[in-house]
Chain A
């Protein structure tokens, strides 16, 4: 069980095969487990467990959108959707952003690992093309608004869940 973010989740088992992480999602016991590969996005999920936020960017000068000077993609993609060339890994230029949109989740679907209520936040970081959907640690007693400054935090080491929940945000 994670200690630093109150997630109700034991770490998901992973195996490594050919350099990529394969997440185990048990459905019907050990024989009924789904083995979901993170494929070439493994560095992203591995990075979270090490306290690093990684994205990818297109550096192709022939790319029809921004000629390879496009901003970072988080969640990352291995291939540029505009020119189809391989993207390059890069650390997020900043871990400080602001709340672009949010909601207070009062109740979630079966299996939700985050204790309700909590703020689900969409975070904008300078230099990142996308807006990152995530969650805010620290409860909901103190309200937030569009524009609230937040800072990335991570579940690392033994606390890591090996899922996207390893990235969360705290009020700056």
Chain B
């Protein structure tokens, strides 16, 4: 669909508000032979029940659950159909109803969307949203082939069997059209992997330099290894509630708005369309961009932008009353599977106008501490460490991102990242240079969950409700 009618642009409306109150996670590893998948899911569930300071006991909270939404990217990886049943049984939740959700890399976000719908509709007062992925049963390059099965098998998969090669042409087009310095892309890897050094859950944290990133081996040019996320094993969970249940469990619930968008699986099938405008944008503002596209035989969204992300942002900002994203949002988690997807997304979600994404990153506003001003950035990105630094256990990823925003809004970054006991739990030593990445007084955060080369995206706005 490249032309909308009025009905297509109806803004979603909950019939009653939806709240997120608690979350839990395992740590994430490249290989995790010590634990079965169900045991990793239990780690996330137990943390959700026991460590969020809820006003009721774990058994009492469990006694409130009406419905479960489970996210898993690929049966290929688990080598198990109906994994939902095994996990549900292991968590001791039968005969409560559950559903499994699959939308590629956006599975986590879509699972939250499904869980939120269960609350908003009145089907449930308390819904467990939990996701996982076990990507270590196969060797890395077979895993890459499995992931590339999420490209079109008739026309794309055989052309690399590696997803980086589907993002790399986007990086090429984006880079040339907007004259992007590759050091800016590399700085995203440095930032996110650096933030991950403060997370006990992180799989591939590290203090790197831009030169180190650029000197790394190429996966699919221009993308280097440190610009690509790795495969992970782990699980993450959040608890969604009605208003009444939310306040019975915590004095610090977070209000949730979430919306989705899609685009064709094959990037090359995306024909030109007009940009759906966010509340703070005007048609005139993009006159220059349409002209610039003519020079490049370009199109919107083309290879440079994600219509699915723009559509999801278009909807969720109207649901949540966001008018000026950069002013109204205090932090964001982007789907930085590759440095380029992080960079592209800033325009899609309106943290900067299209075409100015590079300037936005160099402005420093996406850092916790803006390197130019020494003050807090306007909208720090991926303080969790993101996919580049912390994890991409695909079915869990979007849930993990929302979890990190929840804890930031609740002021719990230190509790969930800084305790010595947590680091020890995962066999790690808390770094001597550990830093709190708690944002000062955040009000709202944005979590973006993203699939394919932008085939599915959800955008979730989480807002303090106290």
Are A and B genuine complex partners? yes
**Residues of chain A whose beta carbon lies under 8 Å from any beta carbon of chain B:** 36, 38, 41, 64-65, 73, 75, 81-82, 100-114, 120, 122, 124, 129-135, 146, 163-165
A122 touches B220 (CB 8 A): no
Do A109 and B142 contact each other (CB < 8 Å), given the known contacts A75-B266, A135-B159? yes
**In-complex Cβ contact of A164 among B141, B158, B161, B217 (8 A):** B158
B219 at the interface (CB under 8 A from A): yes
B161 touches A133 (CB 8 A): no
- Chain B window 135-155, contacts with chain A (Cβ cutoff 8 Å), 1 for yes, 0 for no: 000010111111110001111
**In-complex Cβ contact of B268 among A38, A81, A108, A130 (8 A):** A130
Assembly CA distance A41 to B154 (angstroms): 10
A108 touches B144 (CB 8 A): yes
B141 touches A110 (CB 8 A): yes
B165 at the interface (CB under 8 A from A): yes
Q: Which of B153, B156, B169, B176 has the most CB of A within 10 A?
A: B169
**In-complex Cβ contact of A109 among B161, B168, B221 (8 A):** B161
CB pairs A–B below 8 angstroms (25 shown): A75-B155, A75-B269, A82-B1, A102-B169, A103-B165, A104-B220, A106-B220, A107-B162, A108-B162, A109-B147, A110-B141, A110-B142, A110-B145, A113-B158, A114-B160, A120-B160, A122-B303, A124-B297, A130-B266, A130-B271, A131-B268, A135-B159, A146-B172, A164-B154, A165-B159
Contacts of A133 in B (CB 8 A): 155-156, 159, 266-268
Do A106 and B172 contact each other (CB < 8 Å), given the known contacts A75-B155, A133-B155? no
Interface residues in B1-16 (C-beta closer than 8 Å to A): 1-3
Assembly CA distance A101 to B223 (angstroms): 14
B160 touches A108 (CB 8 A): yes
**In-complex Cβ contact of B1 among A38, A81, A102, A120 (8 A):** A81
Q: A139 CB to closest chain B CB, in angstroms? A: 15
B161 touches A110 (CB 8 A): yes
Assembly CA distance A81 to B1 (angstroms): 7
- Chain B window 164-205, contacts with chain A (Cβ cutoff 8 Å), 1 for yes, 0 for no: 010011111100100000000000000000000000000000
A101 touches B173 (CB 8 A): yes
Contacts of B303 in A (CB 8 A): 100-101, 122, 131
**In-complex Cβ contact of A102 among B143, B172, B266 (8 A):** B172
Contacts of B154 in A (CB 8 A): 38, 41, 75, 164
**In-complex Cβ contact of B141 among A104, A109, A146 (8 A):** A109
B268 touches A105 (CB 8 A): no
B161 touches A111 (CB 8 A): yes
Q: A129 CB to closest chain B CB, in angstroms? A: 6
Contacts of A38 in B (CB 8 A): 154
Contacts of A165 in B (CB 8 A): 158-159
Do A120 and B169 contact each other (CB < 8 Å), given the known contacts A41-B154, A109-B162, A131-B268? yes
B169 touches A109 (CB 8 A): no
Q: Which of B148, B156, B165, B267 has the most CB of A within 10 A?
A: B165
Q: B265 CB to closest chain A CB, in angstroms? A: 11
Residue of B nearest to A123 (CB): B268
